[in-house]
């Protein structure tokens, strides 16, 4: 339980779902973790649990669509722990956004420009901003590992959520491009592409797994994944165990896209 001993990791979207699982797992594996989220109270809860188990973590309130907030996360990490070795970008919006913003997960024909830009900002620009912010610190430190959380919907088409799928496809190709440029600085940039994961982001549609036939059509494993299963994928890519992996897209979807 020390795969990240001596490492400092920033985890975005750390208040719930995959981000929170990463915060908890990385701390358990010896990392000092900086958890960032707009809803800082949820991150503070996770940080309290980590500290109760003897781990080290701090919480930072940040809207990662804002450049100044992104810079504040990096400054907090450097002020508290002196370096940055790992950054997992798990923040973003998904299907749950449609419950509060009508049309945000629509096809192109019924998506407003305002909603398109909202999703682009939350999912893609935040990824760009976080990557840009940590690269100087990682370069100074002699290298690092960036793990972006995308989606299998960045690899295949979908009937709706076109802004969302566009962002996830862009995150995947941004990951590949960054890996080419920053390999010389010993910075590895990889991506996890989850399938259906049981998080608040898709809570409203989890009922599809109640029917065995429908569940089988979605995934050969007939279930959704858990946030911790994706956190372990992120852990592999963040750790030295994946030292020859950069520009990789690790699909963790229970076989969904394998069956077409």
Length of the chain: 260
Q: Is the dihedral of CA 75, 79, 83, 87 positive or negative?
A: negative
Q: Considering only CA atoms, which of 153, 121, 240, 142 is closest in space to residue 186? A: 142
**CA–CA separation, 133 vs 70, rounded Å?**
7
Spatial strand order of the sheet with 32-37 comes to: 56-61, 32-37, 8-12, 86-89, 144-149, 187-194, 249-252
Under DSSP, the state recorded for 242 is G
Q: CB of 36 within 8 A of CB of 70?
A: no
3-state secondary structure at position 27: helix
Question: How far does the chain reach from its first CA to its final CA, in angstroms?
Answer: 37
Which active-site residues does the annotation give? 164
């Amino acid at each position: 339980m020390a795969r990240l001993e001596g490492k400092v990791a920033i985890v975005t979207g750390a208040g719930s779902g995959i981000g929170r699982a990463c915060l908890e797992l990385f701390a358990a594996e010896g990392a000092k973790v900086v958890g960032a989220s707009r809803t800082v109270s949820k991150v503070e809860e996770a940080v309290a649990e980590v500290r109760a188990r003897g781990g080290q973590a701090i919480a930072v309130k940040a809207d990662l669509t804002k450049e100044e907030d992104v810079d504040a996360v990096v400054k907090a990490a450097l002020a508290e722990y002196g370096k940055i070795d790992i950054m997992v970008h798990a923040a973003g919006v998904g299907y749950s956004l449609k419950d509060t913003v009508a049309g945000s997960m629509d096809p192109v024909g019924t998506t407003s420009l305002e909603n398109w830009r909202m999703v682009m900002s939350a999912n893609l620009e935040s990824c760009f901003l976080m990557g840009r912010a940590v690269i100087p610190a990682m370069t100074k430190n002699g290298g690092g590992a960036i793990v972006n959380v995308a989606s299998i919907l960045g690899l295949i088409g979908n009937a709706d959520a076109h802004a969302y799928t566009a962002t996830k496809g862009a995150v995947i190709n941004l990951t590949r491009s960054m890996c080419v440029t920053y390999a010389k600085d010993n910075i590895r940039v990889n991506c996890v592409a989850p399938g259906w994961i049981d998080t608040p982001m898709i809570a409203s549609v989890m009922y599809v797994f109640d029917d065995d036939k429908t569940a089988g059509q979605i995934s050969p494993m007939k279930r959704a994944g858990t946030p911790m299963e994706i956190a372990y994928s992120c852990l592999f890519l963040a750790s030295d165990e994946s030292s020859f992996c950069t520009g990789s897209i690790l699909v963790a979807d229970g076989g969904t896209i394998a069956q077409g």
